[in-house]
Structure 1
Amino acid sequence: MREWIPVSTSPKGRLALAAVKEFGTRPFDEVTVAELAAAAKVTTGALYHHFGSKLGLYAFVRADVERRLLDRMEGALAAAGSGSDHSAAVTSALLVGLDFAVREGFLRILGDPPAGTGHDRLAEMLSEHAVPAVPLLGQVLAAAWRAALAAVAQGADPQHARAAIAALRLHVPDCR
């Protein structure tokens, strides 16, 4: 359970909402502290007070957005059931995640690898559910999914990104 849910009218809540919007549509490096503070109608000091830094604010909102993404993807995996085609289940989860990110405008915040940390929860979740279990498969799938989001962020048709994700099939030949 969460420790804190932002109240949108508080300075901390306004900063979180502004950060979700800005980091959702623009790369981390292109968003400035001054822009975030202005969008939230607070001083830059408030940002530093509540989050310590731009990276602290980014990490806070990314964790929230990523948790919402993973909840949806895990739900898609659970709906597919344990006895079904694992490749189809993972592809379904990737499509659910893509649709969520596009619909909510989270193309950049979810399309970019996590900033400031080596911890990639999406890759970890995909590794746990991908069958066959192959080293680095979760990282490769997460990179492909993020590439589809990046393409949409750069103007590609979301349906083309869906088609590319749907074309992914997990198959590992016998390597004996």
Structure 2
Amino acid sequence: MPEWIPVPGSAKARLIEAALHHFERAGFEGSNVTDIAAKASVTTGSLYHHFGSKLGLYTVVRTDLERRVTDRMEGAAESAGMSDAIPDTPGDATCRAAVRSAVLVAFDAAVRFDACRVLGEPPPHDDADPIEVTVRAMLSRDLEYAAGMLVAAWRSALLNVAGGATVAPVRSALEFVIHD
């Protein structure tokens, strides 16, 4: 079993679940290890043992969510015909439809996972943003900078939902921004 998949009900699994709850409600900066550990019914020592730090725990939570979202994005793009498209053809309608589908599926997944704030916040590291990398792979070289803009709109939409906005109108606004 890969190390990042904790045994259900284990201290590590409870910490991940508690962390997602706290990071989603208060953000990374607003969460503290004492509250996360208490919600998981473990000591802070257990948190440090399994993850090394609050940032280590956040990175595990976020990396898992990003992987789950990018998997769905790739599936959505393929369903929209991306496997038959030629990304180096600027303005290719199939590529545009694939990107649109992928971004909307990513939004819906983040909402379903109750991870709008976690995924809406900028990544906590200088590594490549996996969401942006996924979108960029669907675009021609002439449009590669659009990936950052689309992901910024996606993150903004997620933060609006995390801030209490109703999902449907935020999704409609995102659809407007990434229209065909």
Q: Any idea what SS the aligned residue of 2:47 has? A: helix
Count of residue correspondences: 171
Alignment-derived partner of residue 96 in structure 2:
87
Alpha-carbon offset, residue 156 of structure 1: 1.6
- CA separation of 1:2 and 1:117: change in aligned 2, threshold 3 A: farther
Q: Does 1:150 align with 2:159?
A: yes
Alpha-carbon offset, residue 103 of structure 1: 1.8
Alignment-derived partner of residue 114 in structure 1:
123
Unaligned stretches of 5+ residues in structure 2: 86-92
Alignment-derived partner of residue 172 in structure 2:
163
| 1:78-121 superposed Cα distances (whole Å, 9 cap, x missing partner) | 10113452212211111111111112210111111111333311
Give the structure-1-normalised TM-score. Answer: 0.89
Alpha-carbon offset, residue 153 of structure 1: 1.1
Percent of residue pairs identical: 46
Contact 1:25 / 1:105 at 8 angstroms: preserved in 2?
no
Contact 1:19 / 1:57 at 8 angstroms: preserved in 2?
yes
Alignment-derived partner of residue 11 in structure 1:
11
How is 1:28-39 mapped onto 2 (pairs within 5 angstroms)? 28-39=28-39
Q: Match of 1:31, as an amino acid?
A: S
Q: Match of 1:9, as an amino acid?
A: G
- CA separation of 1:50 and 1:137: change in aligned 2, threshold 3 A: same
Q: For residues 73 and 38 of structure 2, what CA distance do their matches in structure 1 show?
A: 34
Q: Match of 1:103, as an amino acid?
A: R
Q: Any idea what SS the aligned residue of 1:85 has? A: helix
Q: Any idea what SS the aligned residue of 1:108 has? A: helix
| 1:56-91 superposed Cα distances (whole Å, 9 cap, x missing partner) | 000011111111111111110010113452212211
| Segments of 4+ moved more than 4 angstroms | none
Alpha-carbon offset, residue 169 of structure 1: 4.2
Alignment-derived partner of residue 70 in structure 2:
70
RMSD, matched Cα: 1.9
Give the structure-2-normalised TM-score. Answer: 0.87
Contact 1:87 / 1:131 at 8 angstroms: preserved in 2?
no
Contact 2:150 / 2:178 at 8 angstroms: preserved in 1?
no
| 1:2-61 superposed Cα distances (whole Å, 9 cap, x missing partner) | 444111321111111111222233310000010111011111111111111000000011
Contact 1:91 / 1:168 at 8 angstroms: preserved in 2?
no
